[in-house]
Amino acid sequence: MTAASSGSTSGRAVHYEWITDYLAARRLTGAVRLMMSLISASLTACLVALLASVDGPRGTVPVAMMSIALAGGVAGSVLWAWRWPTRGQSLAYAVVSNTSVALGCLSYPSSQGALTGCIAFATMGAYIAFFHSTALVLYNFCLAALVAVSAAVRVAESGHLALAAVDLFLIAQVNIAMPLAIHVLVRALGVDLERADRDPLTGLLNRRSFQNHTEKMLATAVGSPHSYLAVAMIDLDDFKRINDTHGHQAGDDALVAVSRALGLAVMDGPAVIARSGGEEFIVAAVSSTPDATLLARRVCEAIADLPVAITASVGTACIDVGALRGDADELPAGVERLVAAADEAMYSAKRAGGNRFHHSSHQEL
């Protein structure tokens, strides 16, 4: 099933995705972008000051390395000021910035440049621990260790061996402890956030996260010819009877069975499945036909094939994806209208006696 509810994306991609969603939901995206842009600009300013100092690097290779470092800082500052980066752009920013700063600091003739570099690595380590994986944290530490050893050697050459040892120890602590602590904290928080987006019984998305996942699925289909989004609202008929007759465990088992049946019913295309609450489920699917009754039939057949005797009232609605512009306002409004129409159709099927499906009569959604 190509479904947003299936969680089929890679762990790292999901990690980056929920971090960005978390910040966006709390309206912190702009603040984080500004902070990252200022950090990149500050590091660039430090490198400019070092390059322009009287004891700055001389020679083609050292100056070229420092220039690469400057370009990385400028690129990072512009990137974060311009837009929220994709995961690929964010990865490139971390790798290019760290590598370029490492080259610049290693080319610097005094320990001052290396010390500045280690501060930069500590900052970048916190960044990649927050947004990316342990592998990148280790990569960051390896580069920081290289620069730190270089700084310690330069300090030791001046005769201050104890200072060199303390310098190396503090840099190692900053570049290991802080990034890894942040990484562990964020990963733990990520698990909690992921669980908060799902129904604990069935593992499906909950109603709150259904809207977000459907908008993302719809955004990928906008502009595609002959693409339609169908939504089916499902309410299990007389579900209270199962709980009263066979117990709540039997009711829970029935809900889990229904959730699996819905997954099988829509496994041949992009779909989002959620438990709306109680004995209600909601399905959104993209197809090449405007006939939402096909989705309803699949849902009803899947439920009818279950070992437990249970029926459902289903309401459907459909919208031409090509009619949506795909902007920030149109997609959420389109999904909300579609869900409301399907919900109304479901209640119409319920009032008609249940065990049937109704399609929304709205011509304009």
Computed from CA positions of residues 124, 129, 131, 135, in that sequence, does the dihedral angle turn out positive or negative? Answer: positive
Q: Which fold has domain 205-359?
A: Alpha-Beta Plaits (3.30.70)
Residue type at position 143: L
Give the global pTM.
0.50
**pLDDT score at 6:** 35
Q: Enumerate the β-bridge partners of residue 283.
A: 232, 273
Contacts of residue 197, Cβ cutoff 8 Å, sequence gap at least 6 = 205, 206, 208, 209
Which comes out higher in pLDDT, residue 311 or 96?
Answer: 311
Contacts of residue 356, Cβ cutoff 8 Å, sequence gap at least 6 = 313, 314, 349
Residues 69-86 have a mean pLDDT of 80
Among residues 106, 98, 109, 94, which one has the least CA distance to residue 149?
106
Residues 178-187 have a mean pLDDT of 70
The structure tokens 């496994």 sit at: 267
Are the beta carbons of 221 and 227 closer than 8 angstroms? yes
The full set of domain ranges for the chain reads 4-196, 205-359
Predicted confidence band of residue 95 (pLDDT cuts 50, 70, 90): confident
For 139-172, the pLDDT digits (tens) are 777 777 777 777 777 777 776 777 667 666 666 6
Which H or E run includes 205? strand 205-206
Contacts of residue 34, Cβ cutoff 8 Å, sequence gap at least 6 = 80, 81
Integer Cα distance of 317 and 286 in angstroms: 12
Which H or E run includes 316? strand 312-320
**pLDDT score at 223:** 63
Integer Cα distance of 71 and 37 in angstroms: 14
Burial of 158 (0-12, 13-18, 19+ CB in 10 A): exposed
Contacts of residue 291, Cβ cutoff 8 Å, sequence gap at least 6 = 318
Are the beta carbons of 98 and 119 closer than 8 angstroms? no
Ramachandran class of 273: left when φ > 0, alpha when ψ lies in -120 to 50, beta otherwise = beta
Task: Report the chain's terminal Cα–Cα distance, integer Å.
Answer: 27
For 51-74, the pLDDT digits (tens) are 676 566 566 766 777 777 777 778
For 185-230, the pLDDT digits (tens) are 766 666 555 556 778 788 888 887 888 888 878 777 666 667 788 8
Least confident of 259-273, 283-297, 316-330, 350-364: 316-330
